[in-house]
Structure 1
Amino acid sequence: MTLPLIITVCALILIAYLFDITSRRTKVPTVIFLLLLGWSVKQLVEAFGLKMIDLAQLLPIFGTIGLILIVLEGGLDLEINKQKKSLIVHSVFAALIPLVVLSIVIGLSFHVLSDSNLMESFINAIPFCIISSAIAIPSVQHLTRANKELVTYESSMSDIIGVILFNFLIGNEVMGVTSFLHFGLQLVIILIISLVSSLGLAFLIKKIDHHVKLIPIMMMVVLIYAIAKIYHLPALLFILIFGIFLNNLDEFKNITFIRYLSPKLLDVEVHRFSRLVAEASFLIRTIFFILFGYTITTESLFNSSTLPYAIFMILFIFFVRFVQLKIARQNAFPLLFIAPRGLITIMLFLSIPLSKRITLVNESLVLQVIIMTILLMMVGLMAHRPDKLKKHI
């Protein structure tokens, strides 16, 4: 059984790699193929009567590691300088405002349509309001540099702000001044941890001369994240800050300690680390979505009782996005369609305590929203023609 399993896993990952390579030409998001691949494997397993462990139990593990790597990869791509100031500010508001508006409207809708209280309704609404950087960023590689940067910044900020808001609501049964003071203290603590850890890890990257050092650094990053999560700190903020810090060492070269790190020499190691993170992110993301596809059932996908709610949410999501783009004076096409839900939606849904879940929000609703937003993104990307191509038509 060992060798067939090894062959199967290797074959699936290689097939996923082929999907990733061809997605630039087909403009079909790789995640569509991965979900179909996972679902197809399940059909074969059931057809041959093979016994398998409950793979759904692995989703939170690969999802958490995937989220860390995706945010870290995004941070390692972000540049912080005067030229990017307006883009960063715009991205923060582009992520924050739709998130708040969608959370309020969808949360109130859940409250009206179910017997849940307001807090439970908002907690269940947030997973549907976050753009998945795990899907958005890899899907826009063929767009213009400006659009790619905007999607990278916006989706990364959406992940971070969404997770922080979700954890804030989960950790506070009653809202009050104390809750916000405690939250502010948590932010200060994680900022201090992020600063100290980023400097320490950068120092280790420079000083360790052993031929194996980047994997241990990555394990330290995951370890710091896990410990911070145990103490209910917004740990993803550390991941983002660490990535941004490494990618922008030249911007801090006037600081004495940073000069000691020799930013120009360290850039070589940071480049190697970025490549490793990108490779690991591809692997974990691939496994996660294949596993998720494996857990999909035909009944949950075509559940008619949740379909109207899914359609309502999607219509409102894209309405808010359209208004946001118009206010920001951005071209609505193709950015309007780049609002997929995915890994982060699944992870937050699985993180909702059973005592706080509402009957209206189930696996069918989550699956339908994810699939339809991805399909709409695919249609938008396939219909998009770059300006250069338009000139020749």
Structure 2
Amino acid sequence: MSTYITLIILSGLVICSYMFELLASKTRLPSVLLLLFLGIGLQQAFTYFHIQTFNFQSVLPALGTIGLILIVFEGSLELRYESHKNRLISRSFLSALIILLATTTAIAIIIQHFSGYNFYVCFTNAIPLSIISSAIAIPSASGLDKQKKEFIVYESSFSDILGIIAFNFAINNRNITFSSFTRLGAEIVLILVISVISCLLLLYLMGRIGHHIKFFLIISILILVYALGQKYHLSALIIILAFGLFLNNADKIRIPLFRKVFLYSHLPKDLVQLLQLSAESAFIIRTFFFVIFGFTMSVSDLGQIELLMQGVIILFAVYMIRFIYLKFVARGDVFPEVFISPRGLISILLYYNLPAYLQIEEVGKGLLFVIILLSSIIMSIGLLLTRKRTPV
């Protein structure tokens, strides 16, 4: 393809994604679902016209990681802490933790049934399929009332973080002993210490950088810290969530020394600009990630009855566990929260990080694609039905 054709396609994708966002705000149909179908359509068009492309799968992990960082950061920048929200935060954390553990166990049993692998391998493969995708859940919750939206932001972010912790723990501990948990505790303490230091350092830099270009520098440092943490199997997504929460709530800290050294007069204005920059950057990255993911999928997988049945069984377990927990354990709102349990970006990232010796042939990209697609469709239908039930 010529340079101009490439530019036309790239700009066209961004325009389509923007139109999808507008459509999503009116219908609650997730734009991610439309982006996946757009990618599939482009794949068919490229195949029909015999257009040569390169291996897009090589860029998916990097795009997805940046997208995850930006989306979680954007969501956390919008969260304002109040003491009365302690119950909301604890409820969302428990929801993410208990549902993640229960869902992973259930999916592991299902995978073991149709694959025959031992439970450890099945459990590790089940983790990516058990995590709520904040990349899809957070934008999809934008039309909900404030409390429900904040619950989804916290829950999906906690689900991502806890899922990454569980995934790293599983692949690094084939034989779980007491020392495995002590090492996990030490790693969590370490990442919390790094989070505090990073938050203070980045806020200090924001107040001291006089150059008109500084927000991309801050985001680049965040990505660097995240990558270094993940390189050493630390759950560095905690840093991203902590920094966003810290920035948006720094003015609540009443320590005189802190206010003198770290707070500055232009912080509120900088927060607005940083939020806008992260939101628009996340929009671009999310657009290309899901279009490319749809482009690299095999449409023939959707015609495999056995694969579809496996996906349906897994999702039935996912939504049953979520419904039972929200209805009978948490005793909170069930609708539309029960439907907002999509799989997406984080599932794809962890799937690509599975070591070769832990990969199961039956749990391949085909099953992952089916679960992502069906969970997004279920969420869309659930949100549409809930909207119709909501009095105007």
TM-score by length of 1: 0.95
Aligned residue in 2 for 1:38: 39
Change (3 A) 1:231 1:18: same
Query: Structure 1: which 5+ runs fail to align?
Result: none
Whether the aligned pair in 2 keeps the contact of 1:73 and 1:243 (CA below 8 Å) is yes
Percent of aligned pairs sharing the same letter: 38
TM-score by length of 2: 0.96
Alignment of 1:168-183 (within 5 A): 168-183=169-184
Root mean square deviation, CA, Å: 1.5
Give the partner amino acid of 2:280.
E
Aligned residue in 2 for 1:121: 122
Give the partner amino acid of 1:49.
H
Whether the aligned pair in 1 keeps the contact of 2:110 and 2:314 (CA below 8 Å) is no
Once the two structures are superposed, residues 103-139 of structure 1 have per-residue CA deviations (whole angstroms, 9 ceiling, x without a partner) of: 1121123234323222211110011111111111111
Give the partner amino acid of 1:98.
I
CA–CA separation in structure 1 for the residues paired with 2:91 and 2:247? 23
CA–CA separation in structure 2 for the residues paired with 1:212 and 1:375? 40
Aligned residue in 2 for 1:191: 192
Whether the aligned pair in 2 keeps the contact of 1:38 and 1:293 (CA below 8 Å) is yes
Q: Report whether the alignment pairs 1:131 with 2:151.
A: no
What's the secondary structure of 2:4's corresponding residue? helix
CA–CA separation in structure 1 for the residues paired with 2:351 and 2:13? 26
Whether the aligned pair in 1 keeps the contact of 2:251 and 2:263 (CA below 8 Å) is no
Q: Report whether the alignment pairs 1:379 with 2:381.
A: yes
CA–CA separation in structure 2 for the residues paired with 1:255 and 1:350? 47
Once the two structures are superposed, residues 225-274 of structure 1 have per-residue CA deviations (whole angstroms, 9 ceiling, x without a partner) of: 11112222111111111111111112223252244222553222122111
Whether the aligned pair in 1 keeps the contact of 2:298 and 2:366 (CA below 8 Å) is no
CA–CA separation in structure 1 for the residues paired with 2:144 and 2:307? 34
Change (3 A) 1:255 1:353: farther
Aligned residue in 2 for 1:336: 338
Change (3 A) 1:263 1:155: farther
Query: Structure 2: which 5+ runs fail to align?
Result: none
CA–CA separation in structure 1 for the residues paired with 2:387 and 2:69? 33
Change (3 A) 1:108 1:385: closer
Alignment of 1:252-263 (within 5 A): 252-254=253-255, 256-262=257-263
Once the two structures are superposed, residues 3-45 of structure 1 have per-residue CA deviations (whole angstroms, 9 ceiling, x without a partner) of: 1101110111111011101211122110111011111111111
Give the partner amino acid of 1:325.
L
Give the partner amino acid of 2:244.
G
Shift of residue 301, structure 1, vs aligned partner: 2.3
What's the secondary structure of 2:391's corresponding residue? helix
CA–CA separation in structure 2 for the residues paired with 1:289 and 1:357? 23
Aligned residue in 2 for 1:225: 226
Whether the aligned pair in 2 keeps the contact of 1:303 and 1:364 (CA below 8 Å) is no
Shift of residue 165, structure 1, vs aligned partner: 0.7
Aligned residue in 2 for 1:78: 79
CA–CA separation in structure 2 for the residues paired with 1:251 and 1:170? 40
Give the partner amino acid of 1:84.
K
CA–CA separation in structure 2 for the residues paired with 1:285 and 1:100? 27
Aligned residue in 2 for 1:293: 294
Shift of residue 357, structure 1, vs aligned partner: 0.9
Q: How many residues align?
A: 390
CA–CA separation in structure 1 for the residues paired with 2:303 and 2:255? 58
Alignment of 1:35-114 (within 5 A): 35-114=36-115
What's the secondary structure of 2:342's corresponding residue? coil
Change (3 A) 1:255 1:225: farther
